């Protein structure tokens, strides 16, 4: 009788598997910043999720499912590290200036993913670029390049 009761209770077990917290390394920090940038306008649209997955797959040679799993871990890291400066510091300490500019380009890709440039996303991206040591003029040049390429690649 006890075993039957356990099986019945198991049917009602609504425990959701949790996504593990990823290592706080440069790859995951960039992914977390992409998530944060996408959510800056208080929405997190499918197009933005899809773009984050596409960028992660391209940057790190991942298959689509692997990129989606990585993004889920980046979402968790974004939630666990509430200070943008902490995420940016991980990048600044671990990647070259050139790769920081590549990171800014990836963030602009996310900003344009839903077809709109929201002021809050742009402000956050400017803050992140500054934290990464990418000056405003370089950030704007990267933005212009990404916008020009957007129509060609999407």
Q: How far apart are CA 99 and CA 137, in angstroms?
A: 17
Residue 3 forms part of a structural domain: no
Residue 97: give the domain boundaries: 22-153
pTM as predicted: 0.83
Specify the residue for token string 């934290």. 131
Q: Say if CB 75 and CB 38 are below 8 A apart.
A: no
Residue 75 forms part of a structural domain: yes
Predicted confidence (pLDDT) per residue in 97-122, tens digit: 999 999 999 999 999 998 877 889 99
Residue 9 forms part of a structural domain: no
Residue 95 forms part of a structural domain: yes
Residue 13 forms part of a structural domain: no
Residue 141 forms part of a structural domain: yes
Instruction: Name residues whose C-beta falls within 8 Å of residue 44's C-beta, 6 or more positions apart in sequence.
Output: 35, 38
In this prediction, residue 1 has a pLDDT band, given cuts at 50, 70 and 90, of low
Residue 7 forms part of a structural domain: no
pLDDT at 9: 57
Count how many domains the chain has.
1
In this prediction, residue 20 has a pLDDT band, given cuts at 50, 70 and 90, of low
Q: How far apart are CA 122 and CA 132, in angstroms?
A: 15
Give the CATH number for residue 130: 1.10.3680.10
- Tally DSSP H helices, then E strands, for the chain: 8, 0
């Amino acid at each position: 009788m006890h075993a039957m009761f356990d099986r019945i209770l198991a049917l009602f077990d609504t425990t959701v598997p949790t996504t593990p917290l990823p290592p706080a390394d440069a790859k995951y920090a960039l992914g977390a910043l992409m998530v944060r940038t996408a959510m800056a306008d208080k929405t997190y649209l499918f197009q933005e999720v899809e773009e984050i997955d596409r960028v992660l797959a391209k940057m790190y040679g991942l298959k689509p499912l692997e990129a989606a799993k990585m993004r889920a871990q980046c979402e968790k890291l974004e939630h666990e590290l509430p200070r943008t400066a902490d995420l940016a510091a991980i990048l600044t300490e671990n990647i070259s200036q050139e790769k920081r500019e590549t990171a800014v380009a990836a963030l602009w890709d996310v900003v344009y993913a839903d077809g709109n440039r929201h002021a809050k996303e742009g402000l956050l991206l400017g803050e992140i670029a500054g934290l990464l040591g990418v000056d405003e003029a370089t950030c704007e040049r990267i933005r212009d390049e990404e916008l020009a390429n957007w129509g060609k690649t999407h």
